Structure 1
Amino acid sequence: MLARQFLCRKLLWHSSCSCVSVRYTQSVSQHALDTINFEMRLPTPITRQRQRQPFAKNLFLGVFDHELMYYPESQTKERHTQFFEWLQPIEKYLSQNLENPQSVEKDDILSHLKDLGVFRAHVDEQYLGLNLNQTELAKLVEVLSCFPWLGSYIVKNHIMPVHIISTMASEEQKAKYLPKIATGEIVPTICYTESDSGINFNNIKSMTILSDCDTFYTLNGEKLFVANGHDSNLFLVFSRSGHSQAISSGQSTLSVFLVDSDMNGITYKDIKNLVGLHNSSTCTVAFKDTIIPKDHVLGEITSGMSILIDSLAPGNRNLAPQTIGILKTFIRLLTRHVLERKHLDENMHEYESVQEVIGKISTALYSMESILYFTTGIMDMYENQDCTLEKAMVEMYCVNECITRIYEGLQIIGARSYLTEKPYIQILEDALSYTLFDSYNIDSNMYISLLGLQHMGKNLHQHIMKLRNPLEFPQHVLNWVFGKEYQLKLHIAEHLHLSLRNGGELLEKCITRLNTVGILMLQRHGSEISNRQMELHRISELATKTFALLTVLSRTSRAYCIGLRNADLDRQLANIFAILVDNRIKTLTDEITSGEWVNGDKLYKNIAELIYSNKDYFAEHPLSRSY
């Protein structure tokens, strides 16, 4: 359980629809019933197939499920049509507001989206919701993220809290809160972070003490960085809980409480605006002797830790569709700028260097869309499919690509990008929030690597054990040494369009390298692998790029086979993308196999130690003399 142990130790992550007769309308206001069309429902979703073996994890073993090479279609034709009919007025409204974003008021947009039924998205149908599947939810977030603060809002103040309530709450709690969340009357938010402790359970100071009469709890403590806390009226509060004697003796457990804003002793302070994501503020919420009824415990009294880990793990923060939405907005602005500008008396759009940047951004968007909707598709098509690794790789890949491509595009815009009245730098700051404020790249990389290597260790432990003990198993080691330069025969090209044969062969080489370096890492370091963070970073990138290539080929093959518009350009893009990914993976593989003395890792460690000891830069100035 290397990956889960790592999550527990760090705790740094900000972590179908069927027609039913019961619908909870009695607690909803008359205004909501008059303005929102609750009769609008989507057709029944596709029937999920039986669970398959974990797909991305098995790539570490060199095992390939060819059934998943066919790009998933997670909607019936009727549901697909009606979903996009529902989405169309939302897109139209946001597009109109994008023409003059400075004049947009947050409250006006949220009010209009409420009337359009956006807050029904993640709520189950029997509680007045639409119960969108993962693919539909990702598309909605992508559309809303044309305003980055709005994408963040729908995730932090709707999707994440609703998911926790839907999976952990009692039927009475769901009936009380979910219908009003669907109408927008209740705005939920989650309270994790505390001063000097982050989300580390061992240092959480908030305490919820059970009364002597065993009927209510008393909550005391402060929560920092609460997303839109001053606009919210329902708090999901993580707190230590138990009798006073248990808490004082260190026997408390982590619990989650549903706290209404009209309960006593709740105050707001330190409302802070972020550098990025304007209109998405945070604040400190203080609870002083707040009385919470006993039936406001969410799930079991001891379930707080599992909720925290599962909801905040990399991949569960819905960052990927937000990055796609913001990058699409940026490329529209950039294209308009390029077509209107001249450079050295020549049309800017005719410069090859400009075309290169536009092409790279478009290729990145294509791969980001491919990897996201491939993953959501298999989550929707298969029952309880293990996609923990896929989701983490999707998030990491999309966030990094988004930031990189926006920065490249700013080089074309030049000095104009630095003007305060222009939106370009603001877009970069919005994108940076996904990796600086909402996630932590170092730990996300380790999480991806450890998940894959943990799966490999479970399935190849006998093989790894023999490789680590060559004196006891000399024959096994000799057979492995003389036979390890091999190419997996996965026959991937047979499941792609003929024009993508070369891409399929390159994908097989990438999977072979992933399998080889994974075994090498476990052979070298065994259970100490979690301490080799530089090499884990490389494995994370290697696995993520391999998976991205796989999804691009799958999507392109489908597009070419069904005759989508511009499918020939898709094919060219996929083949070039395969070559670029293969070259990068060759480099990563060489760095891993060469070891820390050759690839520079040892040097970096020594430099860091010297700087730590000096508490300053180590090298003498080039103008210094020793004579």
Structure 2
Amino acid sequence: MDTINKDILRGGQFLVKETDCMDIFTPEDFSEEQKMMKESVTDFVDREIWPHKERFEKKDYALTEEVMRKAGELGLLGIAVPEEYNGLGMGFVTTMLVCDYISGATGSIATAFGAHTGIGTMPITLYGNEEQKKKYVPKLATGEWFGAYCLTEPGAGSDANSGKTKAVLSEDGTHYKISGQKMWISNAGFCNVFIVFARIEDDKNITGFIVENDPSNGITMGEEEQKLGIHSSSTRQVFFSDTKVPVENMLSERGAGFKIAMNALNVGRIKLAAACLDAQRRVITEATKYANERIQFKTPIAKFGAIQSKIAEMATAMFVGESASYRAAKNIEDRISIRLSEGNTHQEAELKGVEEYAIECSILKVAVSEDIQNCSDEGIQIFGGMGFSADTPMEAAWRDARISRIYEGTNEINRMLAVGMLVKKAMKGHVDLLAPATAVGEELLGIPSFDTPDFSETLSEEKDIIKRLKKVFLMVAGSAVQKFGPDLEQHQQLLMASADILIDIYMAESAVLRAEKTHKNGGANADYQVAMAQLNLYHAVDNITRSAKEGIVSFAEGDEQRMMLMGLKRFTKYQNMPNVVALRTKIAEKVTEENKYPF
């Protein structure tokens, strides 16, 4: 497939345009090189991380640093770094793959890896000048040095641009003096260089700086934070007191810090989704092994329908999250390739490629972080009383999962961002929401068709339902925009309901398209993929119905409300309701037979 010439949807356009299943990338499409990379990373994790889970739970920060250094020696810290700076210069999909498989054994390494390769290294790679990149990036890419990112302050969390840390230019103009307090700084205990955000004078926006970690230069740290999870992830407060930073260490330009922070978060969001995937695979595998071994009433509990239901739902959520994550990753990679072919620099291409799919990045961050929390919770339940014990891997998995809904912008912030960014794209003409929303409005006033469609092809009804679910979003969000205009952002509960509809649509469509592609290609596990896509869509229809009702009754009354509720019923109607019990049983039997997550 020619990735440069094929018609690639722009970010957010999935809502108003159809996607051919053959145009999406799936894990079944991994190249031989990518399969080898996956194997190499998995071997590394199984050798260096998984056997030492108990040490990670006992706050062995030195072990985290040691593992990170070994990862650097293998080149795993430089996957996304261009070759001229000692990196491997791999594509975006491969960087996702490495982030996925290195993150599953413990949240401590997932956090250290993400903080270093993402927000610790990437701002210099993508915003640094040539001198800065040559000086810092090779050391960061090889693990000789480690990076950390200093944005959050006691009074500046979600409102990142409100930070109080100051940068004052020296009288001779050679350096800035930075003073302020940063908190929740991952890798602080062993990092060599910080990306620090501070405000110069009364600038509207903060500015980024590259600051070397030198305690003799006014840098002190608090004690390691005592946290619910990610116990061996070094997390400290960092205090700067007249810390001297050469003027040449300003990152990008004055006032560009907020833009750097936001773009770093876009990449961080999709990578966080990736970092939650292998954690789910491992939880499902461990829970399945236990369910096969645990005998109650003379029967392995894996044979009981209540346990099969849990295993099937866990596996389905994993399949859906993986499908959507790699679909978006390839879209980003293709957009980067197009920009490079048009003459953009590596920096411009990477930045704009990811920024294009910021909506999808927020969707994935929310969906997959909530999936790993649910998965680990059900893992505890399958283990029963043993799951509550720190002697089993479920307890630590549950605690480590909890931070994922807070990292990279809380899930509440990301929900509102996803809808807000979509509306802004529509205003700029990047996504045509007006014409489809108008068409849905006209359809509501028209006479519904009573023809019986032909759904004889595999997943044809599911694809038709997804088309109609998109109409639900256009109906609810379109009417809300008309009613509230620019004041829509003040109606946060309505935005959250709209976001949940948007998220369920993207995730369900990704799963259906992957299953359809596998089925058409005659791939292994096609029947199980179809079953998981159907099961997930069944839940998506229920979720969307609930969210849409909540949204509609919050702003529509009388005839308008009745018409929209009737439209909702029409758009969410099944012709052939799936037998969800049979679907779950089929999926669970495959997982328990393989004794692991097998898809």
The interval holding the TM-score normalised by the smaller chain is 0.7 to 0.9
Partner in structure 2 of residue 41 of structure 1: none
Name the TM-score, length of structure 2 as normaliser: 0.80
Partner in structure 1 of residue 389 of structure 2: 419
Q: 1:160 to 1:201 in 2, by over 3 A?
A: closer
**Pairing partner for 1:281 from 234, 257, 266:** 234
Contact 2:473–2:501 (Cα < 8 Å) also in 1: yes
Contact 1:492–1:505 (Cα < 8 Å) also in 2: no
Question: What is the identity, as a one-letter code, of the residue corresponding to 1:432?
Answer: R
Partner in structure 1 of residue 185 of structure 2: 226
Q: Report the aligned-residue RMSD.
A: 3.3
Q: Aligned equivalents of 2:5 and 2:92: distance in 1?
A: 16
Contact 1:46–1:76 (Cα < 8 Å) also in 2: no
**Pairing partner for 2:85 from 127, 130, 136:** 127
Partner in structure 1 of residue 243 of structure 2: 290
Question: What is the identity, as a one-letter code, of the residue corresponding to 2:389?
Answer: L
Partner in structure 2 of residue 449 of structure 1: 419
1:438 Cα deviation from its structure 2 partner: 4.8
Contact 1:240–1:254 (Cα < 8 Å) also in 2: yes
**2:512 is aligned with 1:553:** yes
Q: Aligned equivalents of 2:433 and 2:467: distance in 1?
A: 25
Contact 1:560–1:567 (Cα < 8 Å) also in 2: yes
1:353-502 map, 5 Å: 353-382=306-335, 383=338, 384-385=352-353, 386-456=356-426, 482-483=445-446, 498-502=457-461
Q: Aligned equivalents of 1:65 and 1:462: distance in 2?
A: 14
Partner in structure 2 of residue 7 of structure 1: none
Contact 1:57–1:455 (Cα < 8 Å) also in 2: no
1:68 Cα deviation from its structure 2 partner: 6.9
What are the ranges of 5 or more consecutive residues in structure 1 without an aligned counterpart?
A: 1-44, 242-246, 468-475, 599-627
1:127 Cα deviation from its structure 2 partner: 0.9
Partner in structure 1 of residue 133 of structure 2: 174
Name the TM-score, length of structure 1 as normaliser: 0.77
Question: What is the identity, as a one-letter code, of the residue corresponding to 1:566?
Answer: N
1:427 Cα deviation from its structure 2 partner: 0.8
Name the SS for the 1:189 alignment partner: strand
Question: What is the identity, as a one-letter code, of the residue corresponding to 2:212?
Answer: D
Q: 1:595 to 1:198 in 2, by over 3 A?
A: closer
1:354 Cα deviation from its structure 2 partner: 0.5
Q: 1:293 to 1:232 in 2, by over 3 A?
A: same
Partner in structure 2 of residue 112 of structure 1: 70
Q: Aligned equivalents of 2:396 and 2:55: distance in 1?
A: 16
Percent identity for Structure 1 against Structure 2: 20
The list of structure 1 runs, each at least 4 consecutive aligned residues, that deviate by more than 6 angstroms after superposition, is: 73-77, 460-464, 476-481, 484-487
Q: Aligned equivalents of 1:571 and 1:194: distance in 2?
A: 46
Q: Aligned equivalents of 1:578 and 1:58: distance in 2?
A: 16
CA deviations 1:478-509 (Å, max 9, x no partner) are 9676239789xxx999xxx9312111111111
Partner in structure 2 of residue 194 of structure 1: 153
Partner in structure 1 of residue 217 of structure 2: 264
1:30-109 map, 5 Å: 48-49=4-5, 52-57=8-13, 59=15, 63-67=16-20, 70-72=23-25, 80-96=31-47, 97-103=49-55, 105-109=63-67
Q: Aligned equivalents of 1:560 and 1:142: distance in 2?
A: 25
**Count of aligned pairs:** 528
Partner in structure 2 of residue 139 of structure 1: 97
**Pairing partner for 1:341 from 294, 300, 306:** 294
Q: Aligned equivalents of 2:541 and 2:381: distance in 1?
A: 27
CA deviations 1:254-292 (Å, max 9, x no partner) are 211111113622222232142111211211222222221
Moved more, 511-520 or 588-597: 588-597
Moved more, 228-237 or 556-565: 556-565
Q: Aligned equivalents of 2:280 and 2:498: distance in 1?
A: 26
CA deviations 1:115-144 (Å, max 9, x no partner) are 211112121111110122221111111111
Q: 1:183 to 1:455 in 2, by over 3 A?
A: closer
Q: Aligned equivalents of 2:14 and 2:447: distance in 1?
A: 19
Q: 1:484 to 1:397 in 2, by over 3 A?
A: farther
Partner in structure 1 of residue 342 of structure 2: none
Q: Aligned equivalents of 1:130 and 1:388: distance in 2?
A: 25
CA deviations 1:355-381 (Å, max 9, x no partner) are 110000000000010110000011112
Partner in structure 2 of residue 184 of structure 1: 143
1:161 Cα deviation from its structure 2 partner: 2.4
Q: 1:174 to 1:428 in 2, by over 3 A?
A: same
Q: 1:58 to 1:75 in 2, by over 3 A?
A: closer
Contact 1:49–1:381 (Cα < 8 Å) also in 2: no
Q: Aligned equivalents of 1:315 and 1:368: distance in 2?
A: 16
Contact 1:90–1:116 (Cα < 8 Å) also in 2: no
Contact 2:119–2:268 (Cα < 8 Å) also in 1: no
Contact 2:497–2:551 (Cα < 8 Å) also in 1: yes
1:222 Cα deviation from its structure 2 partner: 2.1
Question: What is the identity, as a one-letter code, of the residue corresponding to 1:116?
Answer: L
Q: Aligned equivalents of 2:424 and 2:465: distance in 1?
A: 26
Name the SS for the 1:225 alignment partner: strand
Q: Aligned equivalents of 2:162 and 2:509: distance in 1?
A: 42
Contact 2:219–2:241 (Cα < 8 Å) also in 1: yes
Name the SS for the 1:270 alignment partner: coil
Question: What is the identity, as a one-letter code, of the residue corresponding to 1:388?
Answer: A
Name the SS for the 1:82 alignment partner: helix
Q: 1:477 to 1:425 in 2, by over 3 A?
A: closer
Q: 1:277 to 1:202 in 2, by over 3 A?
A: closer
Name the SS for the 2:495 alignment partner: helix
Larger radius of gyration: 1
Q: Aligned equivalents of 1:274 and 1:288: distance in 2?
A: 26
CA deviations 1:566-594 (Å, max 9, x no partner) are 11221222233333322332333333333
**2:545 is aligned with 1:583:** no
CA deviations 1:374-411 (Å, max 9, x no partner) are 00011112335521111111111111122123222322
Question: What is the identity, as a one-letter code, of the residue corresponding to 2:54?
Answer: Q
